[in-house]
Amino acid sequence: MSGQQAENGHRIVAGVDGSPSSLAALRWAVRQAKLTGSSVDAVIAWEPPAAVGFGWGLGMTGGADYGELAAKTITEAVSSVADSASPVTVRPITGEGNAAQVLLDASDDADLLVVGCRGHGGFASALLGSVSQHCTHHARCPVVVIRGGG
């Protein structure tokens, strides 16, 4: 799961699911990486819904391969923050499994984990998404939660 290390060995993991909040987290991670000379692993997690073909599962994706959809989402997210003048290496990484667990595994030996405050799954009224909350509770490294626009 963990990517290659930047020259100074520092690595920042950003949790991305394509939501505006997660993109703010990725932008923040890239700015922080620029400051500290780190590299960024932009990590997306996917897992097949419990009832594929029932309800939103098939409807949303049209039966597409979930892994491919995740890979497309993360590639677009990384492209959106790419800056030709920027020296920061941003690696798109796709992991299968529970989002919080994938992020915890990816950040196990990272220097920093950056997450948004609410992803796609959160209720509009939720103050903090369940993945962000789980990460702040269980990550081994410092965690930044991006509230507001980051």
Partner 1 sequence: MYDKLLVAVDHSKVTAHVLSAARDLASLSHGEVWVLHLREREMMPRAGVIDKETVDEAQAEVDAAVEELTKAGVKAHGVVRNTIYGYAAREIVEDAKSLDVGVIIMGSRGRGDLAGLVLGSTAHKVIHLADRPVLVVR
Count of residues that interact with partner 1, criterion CB under 8 A: 23
Rounded to whole angstroms, the Cα distance separating 41 from 61 reads 25
Asked whether the beta carbons of 42 and 26 are under 8 A apart, the reply is yes
Query: Which residue among 28, 106, 107, 119 contacts partner 1 (CB under 8 A)?
Result: 28
Distance of closest approach, residue 141 Cβ to partner 1, in angstroms: 8
Residues ≥6 apart with Cβ < 8 Å to 33: 6, 10, 12, 39, 40, 88, 90
**Between 120 and 138, CB nearer to partner 1:** 138
Q: Which is nearer to partner 1, 13 or 70 (CB)?
A: 13
Give counts: helices (H), strands (E), the chain: 5, 5
List binders of partner 1 among 29-68 (CB under 8 A).
31-32, 35-36
Span near partner 1 by CB under 8 A; candidates 68-76, 77-85, 96-104, 124-132: 124-132
Count CA within 13 A, CB hemisphere, residue 118.
11
Q: Closest CB to partner 1 among 22 and 132?
A: 132
Interface residue list for partner 1 (CB under 8 A): 28, 31-32, 35-36, 127-128, 132-133, 136-148, 150
